[in-house]
Structures are given as structure tokens and as C-alpha cells.
Amino acid sequence: MNWRLWLPFLIFFGFLGLAAYQLSQPKDEFIKSTMVGKELPYFTLPPASLDRPGVDSRYFHAGGPKLLNIWASWCLPCIAEAPQLERLKEEGVEIVGVAIRDKPSDVMRFLAEHGNPYTRIGRDDLSEVQLGIGSSGVPETFVIDGEGIITYQHIGDIRPEHVPVLLEELRKAEG
């Protein structure tokens, strides 16, 4: 028997297994940031609304862990996650917002309608901060520890079941 004649069959079998496995997996469109575990890059953003200050990356270097929420008034899932952000705020979490490609008037309207969980909101018109921290969409939420290190990334809107996960990550970031 010639082993080389079995090669095509074996390669095909490998492909079959891979394809069957991938078909059974839910299609995951997320692109994870490889900045997790690294320091938040330096940035300063002007305020995106009239009643909250802008954001400076140095702000994350003191005062314990915080959430950095990448969002926009034009993004529909951001409306869906608003109650969860509100809950996190009630749990005593500090949430810093970065509004992507957004106008102050739209930001104000959104916050008036869906609540304002943010202590500061920066205005990122060119997605510079978004690119800087490896975020590929809105909304995304990052956990930043007290020393300005990114410790966790949540992609997509925060559903109720994600709230305890984020609280746990914040607790870990503290220790």
C-alpha cells in the first residue's frame, strides 16, 4: 500500500473536522483588543457635552478602577445598555464615557433621554482614542485599574447578565 495515496483523504478529513466544528460554533464577529494588560495610551479629549468635563488619560492613574465606555448617540445598542450603565453607577462604579464621532447636541439629547451615568465624557471625532485602545466598534467597555492599566474588555452592549462580570473585574482590578 502506498501511503501517499492516503494523503488527500487525510487532508480532506482534517478539513471536514474543522468545518464541522466551525459550523457548530456560533459565529463570533468580535475583534479583541490586544491592549488588555497594557497601559492606557496617552490622550486628552475635549468635553462632548456641556455638563461634563472632557477626558485625560492621566485621570485614570489615580482614584481606583474605572470603566471606560466607548459609545455614541447614533448607536442603537447603546440605548439598550443604558439601564445597565445606570445600575453600575448605582453600585458606585465610576464610568468615563468617550463619544465616538458625535455632536454635542446629539450627545445632550441622548443623555437627557436615556440617563447620564458618566462622570466625564470625552469627544473623539476621529476615533483616535478608539483606535488607540484597540476598540473596533460601539459600544465597548474597558476596565481600567487605578494605575491606568487596561485589565478587561467587554465588546457589545452590556446586558443585565454582564453587570456582575464587570463588577467582579473591577474588584479584581482593585486588588
Partner 1 sequence: MRALAILLAALIALPLAAQDSMPPAPYAYRQLDDPEQEAAAQELMETLRCLKCQSQSIADSDAPMAGDMRHQVRIRIAAGEEPGEIRRWLMDRYGDYVSYQPVMSATTWPLFAVPALLVGIAGLLFWRRFRRRA
Partner 2 sequence: MIAEIGLAALWLAAALAVLQLVGGVLALRGGIESELAGLTRPAAILQGGLVAVSFAMLLWVFAITDLSVKLVAMNSHTMKPLIFKLSGAWGNHEGSMLLWVTVMALAGALIAGVERRLPERTMQATLAAQGFVALGFYAFLLLSSNPFERLPQPAVEGLGLNPLLQDIGLALHPPTLYFGYVGLSVAFSFAVGALMTRQVTPDFARAMRPWILGAWVFLTLGITAGSYWAYYELGWGGYWFWDPVENASLMPWLAATALLHSASVLASRDALRVWTIMLGVVAFSMSMLGTFLVRSGILTSVHAFAVDPERGSFILFLLALYIGGALLLFALRAGSINEGERFSVASREGALVVNNVMLSAILAVVLLGTLYPLLTEAFDVRVSVGPPYFNPVGAVFAFPMLAVMAVGPLLRWRKDSWARISKEIALVAALLLAALILCTVLFGTALLPLLGLSFAFAVGVASFLPLKGRNLLRVPIATWGMVIAHFGIAVALFGMASEGAFSQEKLAALEEGGTTAVGPWGVQLESVDPIAGPNWTAMAGQLDVSYKGGEPTRIAPESRNFWAPAQQTTESVLVTRWNGQLYAVMGGENNDGRWQLRLWWKPFVTFIWYGGLLVALGGALALIGRVRVDLRRRSVRRKLAMRRNDEKALA
Binding site residues, partner 2, CB under 8 A: 1-2, 5-6, 8-9, 12-13, 15-16, 18-23, 27-29, 31-32
Q: Which stretch binds partner 1 (CB under 8 A): 55-63, 75-83, 111-119, 162-170?
A: 75-83
**By CB under 8 A, residue 131 contacts partner 1:** yes
Report the partner that residue 100 touches, choosing among partner 1, partner 2, none (CB closer than 5 to 8 A by kind): partner 1
Q: What CA–CA distance (Å, rounded) separates 48 from 165?
A: 28
Could you say which of partner 1, partner 2, none residue 35 binds, taking C-beta under 5 to 8 angstroms by partner kind? partner 1
Query: What, of partner 2, partner 1, none, does residue 132 touch, CB below 5 to 8 Å by kind?
Result: partner 1
Cα distance between residue 141 and residue 154, in whole Å: 5
C-alpha cell at 151: 485589565
CB atoms within 10 A of CB 20: 9
| Residue whose C-alpha is closest to residue 54's, from 4, 121, 104 | 121
Residue with cell 492516503: 6
- Residues in contact with partner 1, counted by CB under 8 A, come to a total of 26
143 forms beta bridges with 67, 152
Instruction: Name residues whose C-beta falls within 8 Å of residue 173's C-beta, 6 or more positions apart in sequence.
Output: 65, 143, 144, 145, 146, 151, 152
- When binding is defined by CB under 8 A, the residue of 10, 16, 18, 76 that contacts partner 1 is 76
89 near partner 1, rule: CB under 8 A: no
Residue 172: count other Cβ atoms within 10 Å of its Cβ: 13
Contacted entry of partner 2, partner 1, none for residue 54, CB cut-off 5 to 8 Å set by kind: none
Query: Which residues form the interface with partner 1 (CB under 8 A)?
Result: 31-35, 72, 74-77, 100-103, 106, 125-128, 130-134, 136-137
